[in-house]
Amino acid sequence: MEYMSKEKFEEAEKIEKFRNKMLKYIVYKKRTEAEIRQKFSEEDENLVDDSIEYFKELNYINDNIYIERAVNEFKALKNMSLKEVEYKLSQKGIRKRLIDDYICKNKENMLEYEISSAKAIILKKQAKAEEKDIRDYLYKKGYMSESINIAFDDINEN
């Protein structure tokens, strides 16, 4: 039976201790890779990189899954334009390519969400504001012209 040297044992113990610390941070709330890197930026870079790769293999860190969960949460809780969704995700440090890929793969669903969000805002503001003011508000929030037009058309038909 081969014994581990004291140095190797201490190194393994250091890695284990660090990974437990990182795991607690990850499990407390779903995090993006960028958030994890920022949190542990003061630590040894190789240890952080190795640990992130380790947790990626175990699927504890997965920005694609994070995007999907975040978008589902936005849909359930907020009225947002696609631009706002993109901005919120990029604020979490998610690469633009990943965000664009998700939106592209779910384009129809995301457009439906943007239109229904616009409708909800229109219905909420209709009693107090003119159509032009509501349109301006939606444009400023990043809604696409097409989504705004469809939302107004749907509301005016009913």
- Tell me which of 66 and 9 has the higher pLDDT: 66
Report the half-sphere exposure of 42 (CA within 13 A, side-chain side).
1
Question: What are the structure tokens assigned to 132, written together?
Answer: 């032009």
> How many whole angstroms separate alpha carbon 102 and alpha carbon 91?
16
Cα(147)–Cα(21) distance, integer angstroms: 45
- 124 vs 134: CA distance, rounded Å: 10
Is residue 80 within 8 Å of residue 147, measured between CB atoms?
Answer: no
Distance from C-alpha of 119 to C-alpha of 156, rounded to nearest angstrom: 11
- Non-local CB neighbours of 142 within 8 Å, separated by 6+ positions: 81, 82, 83, 84, 87
Q: Give the model confidence (pLDDT) of 131-158 as tens digits.
A: 999 999 999 999 999 999 999 999 988 7
Q: Is the pLDDT of residue 1 over 80?
A: no
Find, among 83, 155, 87, 75, the residue nearest to 117 by Cα: 75
Which pLDDT score, from 0 to 100, does residue 4 have? 72
pLDDT at residue 53 in the model = 97
Span 103-138, pLDDT tens digits: 999 999 999 999 999 999 999 999 899 999 999 999
Contact by Cβ (8 Å): 99, 86: yes
- Say if CB 109 and CB 68 are below 8 A apart: no
